[in-house]
Amino acid sequence: MGFSFFIRGPVWFFGIDGVFEGLAFIVALLLAIYAYRAYKLTHDKRFSLYALSFLAITLGQGIRAVTDLLMHSNLENELPYIAFLPHLQSTPLLFTAGYFLHILFMLLGLMILSCYAMKVKDIKVFCVMAFSLLPLMLLVTSVYLAFHYLGLLFCAFIAYSYWKYWCTKKIRPTCLVFIGFLFMALSYVQFLADTVFRVLYISAHLTQLAGYLCLLAALFMVLRK
């Protein structure tokens, strides 16, 4: 079985996926840094939560990029094979840990953004989400499908919230943010479908990158002011 539960797409794309994730890492990091600087200036908690969410996404994308790039080198032949879950018995611990950390941080970041979009002020709601969904990632038999399904739900909800907000504000950067999260939601649809059509793994990465680039464009439009 090897790494098949995370390895998708044609062989020539291996490594390129790591580069795409690296670009997503950079975009998320820029957003986290700007939100944190806004928090330092205003001491407004909204900015600190936003910074935290994008920091989690930054870590998630960074870990995934490194894991993907390492996996496509020859390193996997030299690492100890240690299984801690029955359905991962032939997967090196390093790569398993890398993908699980990627899932953990991505879900944390998207959960914080979703709570923000829902205007949830009670931390107990976030805790219920976190404590119910995150351990499930260790228990489901198809981590890949479960993670991408949850990613789709969160991104779709965040996109919908931004669409509603854009309907009232009608400013270009907000439209870009809405489109960005919409692209991310669409990328998760493609990740789910690539179990049937492997080529969708490539288009999923392209769509996700387009989403992050829309967020970057929105940030640049703001910084030009």
Residues that bind other proteins (CB under 8 A): 34-35, 38, 41-44, 46-47, 50, 117, 161-162, 165, 169, 171, 173-174, 176-177, 218-219, 221-223, 225
Residue 134 near residue 104, CB atoms below 8 Å: yes
The residue among 42 and 90 lying less far from other proteins, judged by its C-beta, is 42
The residue among 98 and 173 lying less far from other proteins, judged by its C-beta, is 173
The nearest distance, CB 204 to other proteins, in angstroms, is: 25
The residue among 35 and 88 lying less far from other proteins, judged by its C-beta, is 35
The nearest distance, CB 101 to other proteins, in angstroms, is: 26
The residue among 63 and 219 lying less far from other proteins, judged by its C-beta, is 219
Nearest alpha carbon to residue 152 among 207, 198, 202, 199? 207
The nearest distance, CB 218 to other proteins, in angstroms, is: 6
∠ Cα 98 31 38 (to 5°): 130
The nearest distance, CB 91 to other proteins, in angstroms, is: 38
Query: Hey, is 101 helix, strand or coil?
Result: helix
Alpha helix stretches (DSSP H) within 72-142: 93-117, 123-139
The residue among 61 and 161 lying less far from other proteins, judged by its C-beta, is 161
The nearest distance, CB 58 to other proteins, in angstroms, is: 16
